[in-house]
Structure 1
Amino acid sequence: MPDRAKILLVDDREENLIALEAILSSLDVVAIRARSGEEALKALLSIDFALILLDVRMPGMDGFETAAHIKRRERTRNIPIIFLTVVDSAPDYAFRGYAAGAVDYLTKPFDPWVLRAKVSVFVELYNMNRRLTEQASLLRERLGVELPDGVGGAEVLPELSRRLRAVEDELGRMGELVGKGNGSVTLAGPLRELSERVLHLRAGFDALS
């Protein structure tokens, strides 16, 4: 059973962290807290996250500076960030958020249903990428490593085909959701890249069949 996707919650206020955890409690994810930008960067050194929910207004290192550090690191630069801030923030906060690398921006108080829906989309995309990486690893093993005695292509290829088809089906469903507006428009780029990876994997698999 694969590990549940992890979400990093970054906010200096305890009540906000509690509220975020309550909103996400119905999702199959693990929420991990950070009370500052420094704590967030430390957590990112050893844990793989599907998504970061990052408060803009924090003492010391604020959300924009934290995001800049995240995007500069090779290990973390591709983790999606959703900025959270109060409704009376400066008018340029949204622009600064996107410029800092955020994929989305929500003002407090936000609709819990909207936040859950957005988180669900990014978690699903993260899980699909993990599954695709596993399938690619299996295919590389099939191409480059001799199989153990008693295990042949007749056993391996059907299983690869089944797993790849499942990824293709999920990718098609995700594309439909984004096309209908049930997700951030910024998902179009990642979905396109994921589609290209799936096409390459399918081409390699078909060459074995």
Structure 2
Amino acid sequence: MSEVAKALLVDDRRENLLALEAILQGLPVHSVAVESGEAALKQLLVDDFAVILLDAQMPDMDGFETASHIKRRERTRHVPIIFLTAADRDAQLALRGYAVGAVDYLTKPFDPWVLRAKVSVFVDLWTKNRQLVAQSEVVRERNTQWRNLTDAVDEATRLLRSENTDAHERAAEILEQARWGTTP
């Protein structure tokens, strides 16, 4: 699996985005930075993300409204959101963040190592989920192949039980095709 996990960074201040990108440097994650809630929603239409770091207080569409839109969409409702805010430690804002679906709420200044650890957990979960999806697909393909092979053997057995010599030749053909993975 060569797909790299992505983190969506959403903050209206460019310097904050640069700081977040620096904090995440060296993690197995590709950062995608946008400067508004609207831009985040557009980005979520084209990319899948392991985690979203979302500024709570932005002009126009704030982080809470953005998160609310994210959680309403089927495609994005399970993407973990970590709110980041410069607001003082107002418990009501944190509760509002959790109410719209955030998995965490950090106030600035926060410890960059803690943020890295949190992002790492979500990147690991995303990666493991992708691996499970891929393994599930392999199992589905093998089950289909097994069903096809079983059907071919059943058909060959039916033909071999018949008295018809042409049927015996057809049964041999079916078994040969099944042996090479082609369907009759």
TM-score bracket, normalised by the shorter chain, equals: 0.7 to 0.9
Paired letter, 2:111: D
Q: CA deviation at 1:149?
A: 5.3
Task: Give yes or no for contact 2:28–2:123 (8 Å, CA) kept in 1.
Answer: no
Q: Based on CA coordinates, which of the two structures has the bigger radius of gyration?
A: 2
> What does residue 19 of structure 1 align with?
19
> What does residue 60 of structure 2 align with?
60
For residues 87 and 140 of structure 1, the distance between their equivalents in structure 2, rounded to whole angstroms, comes to 49
Question: What whole-Å deviation, never above 9, does each CA across 1:148-171 have from its counterpart, x for those lacking one?
Answer: 8557xxxxxxxxxxxxxxxxxxxx
Secondary structure in 1 matching 2:54: strand
The answer on 1:50 being equivalent to 2:50 is yes
Equivalent residue runs for 1:167-206 within 5 Å: none
> What does residue 99 of structure 1 align with?
99
> What does residue 119 of structure 1 align with?
119
> What does residue 156 of structure 1 align with?
none
> What does residue 135 of structure 1 align with?
135
Instruction: Could you list the structure 1 runs, at least 4 aligned residues long, displaced by more than 6 angstroms after superposition.
Output: none
Question: What whole-Å deviation, never above 9, does each CA across 1:176-208 have from its counterpart, x for those lacking one?
Answer: xxxxxxxxxxxxxxxxxxxxxxxxxxxxxxxxx
CA RMSD in angstroms comes to: 1.5
Task: Give yes or no for contact 2:82–2:102 (8 Å, CA) kept in 1.
Answer: yes
Task: Give yes or no for contact 2:9–2:54 (8 Å, CA) kept in 1.
Answer: yes
Question: What whole-Å deviation, never above 9, does each CA across 1:121-140 have from its counterpart, x for those lacking one?
Answer: 01000000000000011101
Q: Unaligned stretches of 5+ in structure 1?
A: 152-209
- The count of aligned residue pairs is 151
Secondary structure in 2 matching 1:8: strand
| Matched-pair identity in % | 64
Paired letter, 1:95: L
> What does residue 78 of structure 1 align with?
78
Q: CA deviation at 1:87?
A: 4.5
Q: CA deviation at 1:86?
A: 1.4
> What does residue 39 of structure 1 align with?
39
Task: Give yes or no for contact 2:84–2:105 (8 Å, CA) kept in 1.
Answer: yes
Task: Give yes or no for contact 1:84–1:106 (8 Å, CA) kept in 2.
Answer: yes
TM-score, normalising length: structure 1: 0.69
